[in-house]
Chains A and B, each alone.
Chain A
Amino acid sequence: MSMSSVARLAGTVVLVATCAFAAKAQTSGEPVKIGAIVSVTGAGAGLGIPERNGMLLAEKTINAKGGINGRPIRLIIEDDASNPDTALSKANELLFGQKVIGLLGPSLTASTVAVGGVTHANKIPQIAFTGIGPAVEKERKCVAHVLPPQKLNAQALLEYAKSIKAAKVGVLHDAGYGNVVMAEIRPIAESYGVKLVAVEKFEVGATDTTTQAAKVKAAQPDAVFIIATSATPFRNVKQLQMTQPVVAAIGSSSYEYVNAMGPGADNVVIPEFVVGEDPLPHQKAFVDLYKQTYNSTPKNFETAGWDAVHIMAQAIGKAGPNATPQAVCDAMRGPYSGVLANYDFAADDMTGIPLSSYVFSKLVGGKYTRIPFRIAQ
């Protein structure tokens, strides 16, 4: 190694260092601490892990572009193990221990309502990865939701059933998530010309629902709704040679469930928001970035994580450097066109997602495809 090559080598090293340093320089100053609680373990892990990936990607992107008015974001992500009282302890730690400015998550409705009690009392802005749930959440004006209320999901399912002229519908749903969506479907089914000929429930985490599926089959419906967070009912419907089209709720739409459905993952239509294989134009940039970073295709919950961080960052930016949490709350309440959908957090359901934002995917041989059907607003 002659002296000149050493010198040249040193020069390049210095050059590279300054660039990196320069990039870093733009985000000097005290980091903005944002807390997050997701279910990385337990029953809700199918939601929590994609949400976490979406949030981390958003943090990296925002910081690379200079953070919020020059200050980098620091996400502190905790796992509530799909348990509401763990979620509450973690919320206490984030809000009062770490003194975060805002809170993202949790992934499950039960944890959201538990944590919402604390954020609402202390006026800390929160963006939950759940649809608005029980009545008590309606008064919590600081808790925004990046996923639609179950009423909207119910309408989307019924809109599709009406579009394929399925007058008689059979429903197979679990006692948890299924119950909640079912409670919204029952009152409005008539108005869509849909008659519920069979409604069969099974316990969460059931290992076999063949008998329930057989009862639905016996009612000879035109289409079958499956509302659950497990793949078992999809397999049983296929095992019973039921030929009717299956319409599933957004909760069943993840690659993990699709793999576990095995042969059941065919002729299944799902109203959701993101079909990574064939994204809407405004979603393309995010989908490509996600594929490049995690080399897997993003779906609804990854996108929800991504949007949540951006919404919080924008609100903090708008509210100014040392704004009070209440000021960030107010700044958050307004329209925001996200990758998942167009929100309006000023709406009374704190979500404001219109029916037209729904995209309908169809599972063909275990692969997602996007069908042209959209709900006209």
Chain B
Amino acid sequence: MTRRLLWIAVALVIWAMLPFVVPRNIADLLVFTGIYTVAGLGIGLLLGHCGIVNLAQATFYGLGAYASAYCTVMMGLPSAVGFVVGAAISMTLAYVIGRPILRLTGYFLALGTLALSAIASALFFEWDWLTGGTLGIGGIPKIDIFGFVLDRPSRYYFFVWIVAFACMAAARNLVDSRTGLMLRAMRDSNTAAASLSIDLQGLRTRVFVVCALFGSLAGSLFAHHVSFVSTQSFTVDRSISFLLIPVIGGATSIPGIVAGAVFVTFLPEFLSNLGDIHQILFGLALVAVVVMLPDGLMGALNRIRARYAARGNRNAD
């Protein structure tokens, strides 16, 4: 057990030092990784535990960002209000829309969330009195905690990752809790779970609401980091990259989500200085992961570790 604690301690030290060691744009990317981890956790819960492909996360991400922008810039309220208002709106919308849409299954649910995402991005353009349309809303203040202004990536990094750790803990709790038990039962066999009086529809809707909450939190964190929001950041392709996080990382493991977030934020950055070819490489990377590693990086890692352990046992026999 102490070996595991040692590992965690080392990881924490590295985590704390990282923003000061790396150049500023890498720190900036690490902040984005934290934001994407929060959004990806929601998708991971739905994909990993309910088998639901959710392509509407950019909508809740947008709602969180616009709420933070509107509350702080237009109404001059403290940034905490933006987080809460954004979360409230996103969760309510997720509940109201989730109930009918989650009656769909398989492809049709995925298509339903894609349609939802398309509707939302059309409305973000249309209601420019709220969202500023293509001009967006600028001048979103940096978050300050008791006077300590988080204006540089190296400072904001800690705030974002603390929120990310809290979300990871909440997701971990959910997975280990009674709800997590019912979710796993539902994923293995809908009919059997129903016979044990597990409310499938209710569960799916509630997890969809939690996913929307995480999306909205990530949106608010994004707004305060970029201090500017506009429709281009909440399109359908953003939903697709959010979906990639659990797919690439491994939907059922929390470290997998972090790995997926690192992949989705760092890969385009490194590929982009290869010129116009970078989009092709990103697409191919996705295809390779989906074909070669059906259960994501974490899945592959576990398989390697298992095979390694098995070889270890065989030698030991």
| A interface, CB within 8 angstroms of B | 40-41, 43, 79, 81-85, 88-90, 92-93, 96-97, 108-110, 113-114, 116-117, 121, 133-134, 136-137, 175-177, 179-180, 203-204
A73 to chain B, nearest CB (A): 21
Q: Which residues of B contact A134 (CB under 8 A)?
A: 132, 135-138
- CB contact under 8 A between A110 and B25, given known A41-B276, A83-B232, A179-B128: no
Is residue B222 contacting chain A, with contact meaning CB distance below 8 A? yes
* A79 contacts B233, C-beta separation under 8 Å: no
Is residue B151 contacting chain A, with contact meaning CB distance below 8 A? yes
Q: List 24 A-B contacts (CB under 8 A).
A: A83-B233, A84-B136, A84-B233, A88-B226, A89-B25, A89-B29, A89-B32, A89-B269, A92-B24, A92-B25, A92-B153, A93-B28, A97-B23, A97-B25, A110-B135, A110-B136, A110-B230, A110-B231, A113-B230, A114-B226, A116-B138, A117-B227, A136-B138, A175-B126
| B interface, CB within 8 angstroms of A | 23-25, 28-29, 32, 73, 122, 125-126, 128, 132-139, 151, 153, 222, 226-228, 230-233, 269, 272, 276, 279
* A203 contacts B151, C-beta separation under 8 Å: no
* A109 contacts B134, C-beta separation under 8 Å: yes
Closest to B35 in A: A85
For A79, A81, A116, A176, the residue with the greatest tally of chain B CB atoms inside 10 Å of its CB is: A176
Q: Which residues of A contact B135 (CB under 8 A)?
A: 109-110, 113, 133-134, 180
CA distance A41 to B222 in the complex (A): 23
Q: Please classify the interface of chain B as helix (H, G, I), strand (E, B), loop, or mixed, using the class held by over half of its residues.
A: helix
* B132 contacts A179, C-beta separation under 8 Å: no
CA distance A81 to B226 in the complex (A): 16
- CB contact under 8 A between A113 and B233, given known A92-B24, A93-B24, A175-B134: no
For B29, B136, B138, B227, the residue with the greatest tally of chain A CB atoms inside 10 Å of its CB is: B138
B72 to chain A, nearest CB (A): 12
A15 to chain B, nearest CB (A): 38
Q: Which residues of B contact A177 (CB under 8 A)?
A: 134
Closest 10 CB pairs of A and B: A93-B25, A176-B134, A110-B230, A136-B139, A96-B24, A113-B138, A114-B228, A175-B125, A136-B138, A117-B227
Q: Which residues of A contact B126 (CB under 8 A)?
A: 175
CA distance A43 to B128 in the complex (A): 20
CA distance A90 to B24 in the complex (A): 10
* A84 contacts B230, C-beta separation under 8 Å: yes
CA distance A173 to B214 in the complex (A): 36
